[in-house]
Amino acid sequence: MKITIRRATKDDLIQIIRILASDKLGKLREDLSSEVSENYYAAFGKIDKDSSQMLVVAENENEEIVGTMQLSFIQYLSYRGGLRAQAETVFVREDCRGKGVGSKLMMFALDEAKQRGAHLIQLTTDKQRPEAVRFYEKLGFNASHEGMKLHFNLKSEEDK
Amino acid sequence: MKITIRRATKDDLIQIIRILASDKLGKLREDLSSEVSENYYAAFGKIDKDSSQMLVVAENENEEIVGTMQLSFIQYLSYRGGLRAQAETVFVREDCRGKGVGSKLMMFALDEAKQRGAHLIQLTTDKQRPEAVRFYEKLGFNASHEGMKLHFNLKSEEDK
């Protein structure tokens, strides 16, 4: 499978949301109804114009979107005023898993992080995905931290 | 102890860095030498002018800085175009621990996150600090994720 990683455009958005929504955990929190799509477009606009954010897609040889990832670059005081890269919403289309798409996305993330001068790259991955933890460990990530979340609207999330 | 939480100013920076550098893990990565201090000032400038970032301090009744925390607000596509709050470098001065300073910082974080419309707040905490994990769990955080880090300059970090 020939994979190209590139910055996402507004035209990719529907395919990206479909990938998020078809995932076993993502389907609990995404919504493909037309009433909600405005939210996604508004979010895309904010991400796209922020130079500290980078939404990317993996495209196959048929110009189909088969993966996505958001990179953030955050300036901190710690580590002597260091910049951190952070990867989030790393998703690969279900029928394209196990074919190196995730590795290509992460290689892109590592390169971009180094180019921008980040001293580390971080991410959190759900403990319900042990295969993802192993995948990141193979790339050199260390599960040194607990990734803790507090949902403000947990009840309504669970109702869905 | 009367604690006020407020946005950090440039004048707080030396006290903030001293708190980071006196911590058992922080002392491995911070540097109080004058040659490095320019880096901290440059980092502060970038954080301070970015409306998605908020560096705060906890101040006691003697106007001493006894704690610090950085809040970031990150726009994602997931969760129907949701905004996330993220807390990082949450530190309390060693001689002021166990006196509610951390709780005040986190209460501030939760309020600010809700005010800005975030649907969740997240953070990672080093597994070498089990007492911190329990602290965040009491506040309602769930250690649902692995917090994974990859340091690009791991060797030089270990040499220090």
B148/A contact by beta carbon, under 8 A: yes
The identity of residue A124, as a single letter, is T
Of B77, B123, B145, the CB nearest to A126: B145
* CB < 8 Å from B in window 92-131 of A: 110, 113-114, 118-128
Other CB atoms within a 10 A radius of the CB of residue A1 amount to 11
pLDDT, residue A158, reads: 43
List, for residues B35-74, the tens digit of each pLDDT value.
Answer: 668 899 999 999 999 999 999 999 999 999 999 999 999 9
Of A80, A137, A144, the CB nearest to B30: A80
Query: In the predicted model, what is the mean pLDDT of residues B9-25?
Result: 91
Number of H helices, E strands in chain B: 6, 6
Q: How far apart are CA A45 and CA B133, in angstroms?
A: 35
Query: In the predicted model, what is the mean pLDDT of residues B14-29?
Result: 87
A78: left (phi over 0), alpha (psi -120 to 50) or beta: beta
Residues of B in contact with A17 (CB under 8 A): 77
pLDDT, residue B35, reads: 63
List, for residues B112-141, the tens digit of each pLDDT value.
Answer: 999 999 999 999 999 999 999 999 999 999
ipTM value: 0.91
- Residue A37: pLDDT band (50, 70, 90) is confident
Q: How far apart are CA B44 and CA B55, in angstroms?
A: 9
Residues of B in contact with A78 (CB under 8 A): 20, 26, 29-30, 88-89
Q: How many CA atoms lie within 13 A of B60 on its CB side?
A: 16
Q: Which helix (H) or strand (E) holds A18?
A: helix A13-22
**Model-level pTM?**
0.92
Taking CA atoms, B132 is separated from A144, B97, B126, in Å, by: 14, 11, 8
Of A40, A50, A120, the CB nearest to B151: A120
pLDDT, residue A26, reads: 78
Q: How many CA atoms lie within 13 A of B143 on its CB side?
A: 19
Query: Per the structure block, which two tokens stand in for B159?
Result: 């040499």
- Residue A160: pLDDT band (50, 70, 90) is very low
Residues of B in contact with A40 (CB under 8 A): 77, 80-81
Query: To 5 degrees, how large is the angle CA B10–CA B36–CA B159?
Result: 135
Residues of B in contact with A33 (CB under 8 A): none
- Residue B95: pLDDT band (50, 70, 90) is very high
Query: In the predicted model, what is the mean pLDDT of residues A50-62?
Result: 97
Query: Per the structure block, which two tokens stand in for B145?
Result: 């994720």
